[in-house]
Amino acid sequence: MFGFLPSPCSSCQPDLASDYRAHFCGLSHEFAGTYGPVARFLTNRDSTFLSILAASFEPEESHESVFERCCNPIGSRRTMVAGWPSRYACAVAVCGAWTKLQDNVEDETGWRRTLSGIGLKQLQRWKQQAVSILMEADFPVAKVEQYFSEQEDRERANASWSDAAEPTALGYGEILAHSNRQSSSATLRKVGFHLGRLIYLWDAIVDREADLKRGRFSPLRRDTDFEASRDWLGRELDSMTSNYRQMGLTNPVIESVLVEGASEKVLPWIEGKDLAEIASEKKKKKRQPYTRETKWYDWCCDCCPCDCCDCTKSKGDCCDCDCCPCDCS
């Protein structure tokens, strides 16, 4: 997903941000313990969402936690989520990063290709560990790899956006479906499917100008398709949301990240604003002073949950952090 989903703002939603941080730091701890300290850099918001989703299906009596320091060796200890949700999310993140770097080696040139090749060699060992973890949980590794391997073939064939998005959508469907190891859920698979289509289409919208300039494939190369993408994106958002509602989950963090966060990301485009206008409005959001009430040495890699800003609806001001899904204006 690579940064599509946001995190709860620590000022607007302090309780949700605290729960989110427990998973975020839990991932960092799991990466370091399973793959080595360098792997902490793979900790991201999308993997955090997957960890939260997986934990929501686990029986309460099986929930695990640790009380450790996160990425700062002199920082305060904090409670972090541990166990299967973290292991699963980390394994998926490693395999996802490996696939992304592999694509970069094939598609990029110059220094981007060189750096991706270096990263790919490092991730090869990690990927073997991750695949072992996923296969122990009966995750269809070969099937999902096959899905993603078809992506380039479809793009070379100048497929429509819907056909081009299908491998990503099918892969995401399996990833979300297997976050629930208690039972199989066709509805959860549909949520992942439409989330995959939503992300693919949004990336195509954002990257269209650069793709056309560099002579790359764009499923929205025609102006009519580019304009129609507003309706297509709206339908995918509605389908993802309606299938999520059918599941009956009551986890407010998932609601904030998946439903509210995705909506906040794409609704301006759906409602008719152009990309330049969206970017301009984002820059106008006022950054607030750093106000985290901790000791100077107690920093952590969890600045992602908006500890970097102070978003207060009472003042009508918002931060301009990418991780803040709130609209306080």
Whether pLDDT at 176 is above 60: yes
Q: How far is CA 172 from CA 175, 176, 185, in A?
A: 5, 6, 14
Q: How far is CA 122 from CA 39, 110, 131, in A?
A: 10, 19, 15
Whether pLDDT at 128 is above 80: yes
Least confident interval from 27-31, 162-166, 272-276, 314-318: 314-318
The pLDDT score that the predictor gives to residue 284 is 60
CB under 8 A, 24+ apart: contacts of 276-282: 282/320
Which residue in this structure is represented by tokens 């890699």?
A: 301
Cα(154)–Cα(96) distance, rounded to whole angstroms? 19
The pLDDT score that the predictor gives to residue 220 is 95
What are the boundaries of each domain within the chain?
15-278
Q: Which CATH superfamily is domain 15-278 in?
A: Farnesyl Diphosphate Synthase (1.10.600.10)
Cα(329)–Cα(315) distance, rounded to whole angstroms? 9
Cα(287)–Cα(22) distance, rounded to whole angstroms? 25
Ramachandran class of 202: left when φ > 0, alpha when ψ lies in -120 to 50, beta otherwise: alpha
pLDDT tier for residue 325 given thresholds of 50, 70 and 90: very low
Which of these, 137, 140, 199, lies nearest to 1 by C-alpha position?
199
The mean per-residue pLDDT over the stretch 42-53 comes to 93
Q: pLDDT tens digits for 81-101? A: 899 999 999 999 999 999 888
Which residue in this structure is represented by tokens 């989520």?
A: 81
Average pLDDT, the chain: 83
Give backbone dihedrals phi and psi of 317, rounded to 5 degrees, phi first: -115, 145
- Alpha helices, DSSP H only, in the chain? 14-35, 45-56, 84-107, 110-136, 141-156, 161-177, 186-213, 223-247, 252-254, 261-270, 275-284
Least confident interval from 112-121, 164-173, 186-195: 112-121
Cα(323)–Cα(305) distance, rounded to whole angstroms? 7
Contact between 42 and 97 under an 8 Å Cβ cutoff? The reply is yes
Whether pLDDT at 264 is above 80: yes
pLDDT tier for residue 323 given thresholds of 50, 70 and 90: very low
